Structure 1
Amino acid sequence: MPVLLFVVAIVVFATDQLVKNWVVDTLPEGQTVPVLGDFLQWHFVRNPGAAFSLASGSTWIFTILATVVVCVILWQIRRLGSLLWAAFFGLLLGGVLGNLTDRLTRPPGFPVGHVIDFISTPWMIPAIYNIADIAICTGMALFVLVTLFGLPLDGSPRRKRGEEEPESSDAPAADADPEPETR
């Protein structure tokens, strides 16, 4: 399962960073470039905050939170046994690393760099976002689904309500004869 997690994370991260570099090198900052009319537009902005540019004066807090999220994901890898959970963690890791890389390497500088946002879909949401954001949101939607369906992180079969846990092989069976007492 860790292989899937890392493949998804690498694909998301690499795509995010390559496209952001293209945006910085190619698109005019602050101007809207129609791609599919009003359905899809490029609009290059440097985002110092979170979604919708909230808390723009607290960039360093997002840097710390993103670092904690990366550490938690890396800690959980050892427990993974489910493809869906691996996909979730891969999407989340790739997206968080994409935006964290911006915060660490882009102007105005470490650790308060601005995240490159460029995708605008004004018909859907009044926000400008990037590939990392899409991966994070998709991952969170997957998280909701696997949680609602009760899929364990380790991929073990789900137990039905009222079903008891399997007995340990170390414990004597309930119907076994007790050992005779010796005095």
Structure 2
Amino acid sequence: MKKILLLITALVVALDLWFKSFIENMIPLGKSITMIPDFFDLMNVRNTGAAWSMLSGARVLFLVLTPIVCAGLIYYFIKKQDVYQLTAISLILAGALGNYYDRVVFGYVRDMFAFNIFGYNFPVFNIADSAVSIGVGILIVLVILEEMGLYHEQTNN
């Protein structure tokens, strides 16, 4: 199972990097293409911060912190047996690696998905951001279910 999840991690990173390059080549910087009017645009924007451009300009912090976080994720990936936790860790790792590549190579993260939800312009994001969000969401659901007694971590013991 872990080999499959590592393959999925690699595929998510590859898809993220490919799509970022595709958007960069198709849409001029700062411009957008409307896909669904008043709801969804593809954009070419640069983000020097984290989610929602928080900590904008803190590139060195991200360059130092991301490998530490990735090492921790890899450690837990090796230790864990639970398929749901492993899936979450794989997605978070894929997202971290995709955005880390951008920060190292370009000095910023390339974002492209722009949603307008009930008049609110949701912050622009990318596939790597989505992978991290989904992975964290899975972990949150697992914690809630465990607290409710509806889920127990799978182990080999």
Give me the TM-score of the superposition, normalised by structure 2: 0.88
Give 1 or 2: higher helix fraction. Answer: 2
Deviation of the 1:8 alpha carbon: 2.3
Retained in 2: the 8 A contact 1:42–1:119?
yes
Please name the residue that 1:120 is paired with: 114
Please name the residue that 1:18 is paired with: 18
What does the per-residue CA deviation read over 1:132-174, in whole Å, with 9 as the maximum and x for residues that have no partner? 0011001110010112222565x139xxxxxxxxxxxxxxxxx
What does the per-residue CA deviation read over 1:72-120, in whole Å, with 9 as the maximum and x for residues that have no partner? 01111221211101110110011000000000111xxxxxx11000100
Deviation of the 1:125 alpha carbon: 5.0
Retained in 2: the 8 A contact 1:49–1:57?
yes
What does the per-residue CA deviation read over 1:10-66, in whole Å, with 9 as the maximum and x for residues that have no partner? 121011000001011111111121011122101111111111112212111122221
Retained in 2: the 8 A contact 1:4–1:86?
no
Call closer, same or farther: CA 1:40–1:68 in 2, change over 3 Å: same
Please name the residue that 1:73 is paired with: 73
Call closer, same or farther: CA 1:125–1:4 in 2, change over 3 Å: farther
Retained in 1: the 8 A contact 2:87–2:135?
yes
1:149 partnered with 2:145: yes
Please state whether the residue corresponding to 1:30 is helix, strand or coil.
coil
Call closer, same or farther: CA 1:105–1:44 in 2, change over 3 Å: same
Q: Distance in 2 between matches of 1:88 and 1:125?
A: 27
Please name the residue that 1:110 is paired with: none
Gaps of 5+ in 1: 107-112, 158-183
Please name the residue that 2:62 is paired with: 62
Matches within 5 A, 1:1-183: 1-106=1-106, 113-123=107-117, 125-150=121-146, 151=151, 155-156=154-155
Please state whether the residue corresponding to 1:56 is helix, strand or coil.
coil
Aligned pairs, how many? 151
Call closer, same or farther: CA 1:70–1:152 in 2, change over 3 Å: farther
Call closer, same or farther: CA 1:152–1:60 in 2, change over 3 Å: farther
Please state whether the residue corresponding to 2:55 is helix, strand or coil.
coil
Please name the residue that 1:178 is paired with: none
Retained in 1: the 8 A contact 2:23–2:43?
no
Retained in 2: the 8 A contact 1:7–1:90?
no
* Dislocated runs of 4+, deviation >2 Å: 149-153
